[in-house]
Amino acid sequence: MFERPASGEKAVLVQLDLNQGELQERLGELKLLVESAGATVEAVVTGRRASPDPATFAGRGKVEEIASTLAAHGADLVVFNHALAPGQQRNLERALQCRVIDRTALILDIFALRARSHEGKLQVELAQLEHLSTRLVRGWTHLERQKGGIGLRGPGEKQLETDRRLLGVRVKMLKGRLAKTEKQRKVRRRGRERGNALSVSLVGYTNAGKSTLFNTLTKAGAYSADQLFATLDTTSRRLYVGEGGNVVLSDTVGFIRDLPHALVAAFHATLEETANADLLLHVVDSASEDREAQIDAVNQVLEEIGAGDVPQIMVFNKIDLTRASPAVNRDECGNITGVFLSAVTGEGVALLREALAETARETAAAEDAKRAAQE
């Protein structure tokens, strides 16, 4: 098992062209992820394959190239911008004699760094353990040895079986704790529903500016930073929007392309806040050249968590970087579809408040009409 240095890991990145497209954007995002995890990028190894090699993902020749790159740069970590099977990861570590992680493990590591609340830490640990459960074999050099010796005699359970059993106990305990917090969350949600306040969730690609916009609107002081996954914990505040009354605005975790399924499953209680919202403000980094792919990635995750049918208003943020003017877009029926603004400078934020007020009034009128029809 390879020890992780306390700090200053030097990483070699591996990005293979498997005909998935957007290679430069994917590579740029991987660099940001690695830097967010606290490592420095020493070199990048690229290549093209029709399909992954079953044994090492990259193939023998490419593994030799990675090994020489590691030696040339004195690096101690290899990061694949792909999902590796447990066997592929083991074979790569044997061949390269250093730690090898894939995109899923990297994102899980960043989530572990960012988690602040008790619930967030529980969710991250659950996702990490479920990911680890298929890779336990990597950590042991004595897998085939039975327990034995003075004080260790007993049922003859293999070390790996013991570890899996203990891991299973821990996973069960975490799921129990998260179930309790989920019940508490549902009680709070019912309380808001009784208050008849429009429920609005901010969603979007990581680092699109959701938390900055949340703070600009609510003066909440929620943590925001120019980094990936700055926000993991859902924060909710009441926001007065004039004639529309109060709405409940929630800031949520950012999404990313190929978001690990283990994370989606572990964070389902947090993400449920989004699925149960009346309206989604889909925040887009309008200055990003990759914005269309980012929009698609967010919509894919929304579909996965059951929020695909929740009404959306697109919020095109960072117009201070694109020199666009504050504006509101409407469809042919007059419904608001988009707002252009800058959360940093405040330009266009008043337009978003007006859009929320209009939506809140229309939703309240529809609810009143529904109740009248039932009576």
Check which CATH number belongs to the domain holding 64 and give it.
3.40.50.11060
- Residue 137 is predicted with a pLDDT of 53
- Give the residue from 101, 120, 154 where a domain finishes: 101
Q: Which segments are annotated as binding site for GTP?
A: 204-211, 229-233, 251-254, 317-320
Q: Answer whether residue 52 shows pLDDT above 80.
A: yes
Residue 222's domain comprises: 195-374
Q: Which of 41-55, 104-118, 207-221 has the lowest mean pLDDT?
A: 104-118
Domain assignment present for residue 199? The answer is: yes
Q: Which segments are annotated as binding site for Mg(2+)?
A: 211, 231
Q: Which segments are annotated as binding site?
A: 204-211, 229-233, 251-254, 317-320
Region for 334 from its dihedrals, namely left if φ exceeds 0, alpha if ψ lies in -120 to 50, beta otherwise: left
CATH code for position 232: 3.40.50.300
Going by pLDDT thresholds of 50, 70 and 90, the confidence category of residue 226 is: low
Beta strands 246-251 and 198-204: pairing type? parallel
The residue that leads in pLDDT, 58 or 144, is 58
Please state the pTM of the whole predicted model: 0.75
Same domain, 97 and 200: no
Average pLDDT over the chain reads: 82
Same domain, 316 and 207: yes
Domain assignment present for residue 28? The answer is: yes
Into how many domains does the chain fold? 2
- Give the residue from 86, 101, 116 where a domain finishes: 101
Domain assignment present for residue 5? The answer is: no
Q: Answer whether residue 177 shows pLDDT above 90.
A: no
Mean pLDDT of 110-121: 77
Same domain, 220 and 360: yes
Residue 135 Cα distances to 138, 146, 306, angstroms: 6, 20, 30
- Give the residue from 101, 132, 159 where a domain finishes: 101
Domain assignment present for residue 165? The answer is: no
